Structure 1
Amino acid sequence: MKKILFLALIFINMSAFAQMDSSENTPTQLVKEFFKAFHAQDTVTLKKFAHDGARLESVSIDAEGNTKLTTDNYSKFLKNIASIPAEATFEERIHEYRVEENGSLATVTTPYTLYFNGKLYHCGVNSFQLVKFNGEWKIVYLIDTRVKEGCD
């Protein structure tokens, strides 16, 4: 009887942990789902991932070698994604996910290479700033770098 009770407790605990892992909302999971929706041009889903007022910035180097910072709001990003022609192909290949999490704040950094119509377009690093609101991670700020050289 003790063995049966012991085995039952083990299975219950394993089941509880399995459910917790599969439904867990993590910063990495949010960013992975973001890129799935991005590649599908699913702006409705992309909108759900961001907090109202989320900001986007890009750092690049202009023709004269000066650092340029471009700022946009998330709604403009969504319009840009929706305006990509259906016949165009694009893929942002993520090389790794670096995560730093502290309570309700997380940073997910993702080095990437972007291909447009099968050709290298640029590469860089994305840095997602996430905040957990009511148990759900949301993007509040996204900044990336964009370079065209050294994209090995």
Structure 2
Amino acid sequence: MIKFIPTMILLCLTISVSAQEISEDEKVKKTIETFFQGFHARDSVVMKSVFHEDPIVQTIGRTKEGEVKLVNEELGKVLKGIVAIPLETEFKEVLHNYEIKIDGEMAHAWTPYSFYMNGNFSHCGVNSFQLLKVKEEWKIIFLIDTRRKEGCEGRKMK
């Protein structure tokens, strides 16, 4: 019995250490969560901290005539626009889940969402994040989202 005690201690330590390691999926998710923490706080410094230099930011939407439209955005303008939202305007983007795929230093995260302004449903869509692992940190290199008002029934908060 005494011979097994050192083995049991080593096994417990190994399990404890491996339980504390964060998976790459969780690291990617944390990068996106940090972006949204900054987004909801209107904090451009926090939001910018998770982007790689010179990222691509785009939106897919529709014109008033109903035609599909791709809009290219500059990150600086996007951040300034978020920071400029009046403090009395309440907004929240609710992410419904994360689908994360990783291959080496590249990751993709698909996050369906619902967006609310002043507590009222505004629109839904999906965010598509492409990330690059640089010096053990995941950075957003490409962000594109869709926005629509139809087909959102299962996503609205109660």
TM-score category by the smaller chain? Answer: over 0.9
Give the match for residue 2 of structure 1. 3
Which residue matches 1:140? 141
CA distance in 2, matches of 1:111, 1:24: 17
Residue equivalent to 2:156: none
TM-score (normalised: structure 1): 0.92
Q: Deviations over 1:86-133 (max 9, x none)?
A: 111001011110111111111101111100111111111100010101
**Contact 2:25/2:102 (CA < 8 Å) preserved in 1?**
no
Q: What does 1:87-98 correspond to in 2, within 5 Å? A: 87-98=88-99
| Cα drift, residue 36 of structure 1 | 2.0
Q: Number of residues paired by the alignment?
A: 152
Q: Unpaired runs of 5+ in structure 1? A: none
Task: Please provide the CA RMSD for this pair.
Answer: 1.8
SS of the aligned residue for 2:125 comes to strand
Contact 1:106 1:131 in 2 (8 A): yes
TM-score when normalising by structure 2 = 0.89
Could you tell me how far apart the structure 1 residues matched to 2:117 and 2:101 are? Answer: 30
Cα deviation per residue 1:43-64 (whole Å; 9 max; x = unaligned)? Answer: 2111110011012100011111
Offset, 1:30: 1.3
Q: Is residue 44 of structure 2 the alignment partner of residue 46 of structure 1?
A: no
Change (3 A) 1:50 1:148: same
Instruction: Give the stretch that moved more between structures: 3-12 or 49-58.
Output: 3-12
Query: Structure 1 residues 146 and 24, CA, compared in 2 at 3 Å: closer, same or farther?
Result: closer
- Percentage identity across aligned positions? 41
| Uncovered stretches (5+) of structure 2, i.e. residues with no partner | 154-158
Compare 24-33 and 6-15 and name the one that shifted more: 24-33
Q: Which moved more, 1:28-37 or 1:118-127?
A: 28-37
1:57-136 matched pairs, under 5 angstroms: 57-136=58-137
The within-5 A match list for 1:13-24 is: 13-21=14-22
C-alpha distance in structure 2 between counterparts of 1:3 and 1:42, whole Å: 54
| Contact kept in structure 2, 1:94 and 1:111, CA below 8 Å | yes
Do 2:58 and 2:144's aligned partners in 1 also have CA atoms closer than 8 Å?
A: yes
Task: Write the distance in 1 (CA, Å) between the matches of 2:29 and 2:113.
Answer: 15
Task: Supply the AA of the counterpart residue of 2:135.
Answer: N
- Cα contact 1:25–1:136 (8 A) shared by 2: no
Query: Which residue number in structure 1 is paired with residue 38 of structure 2?
Result: 37
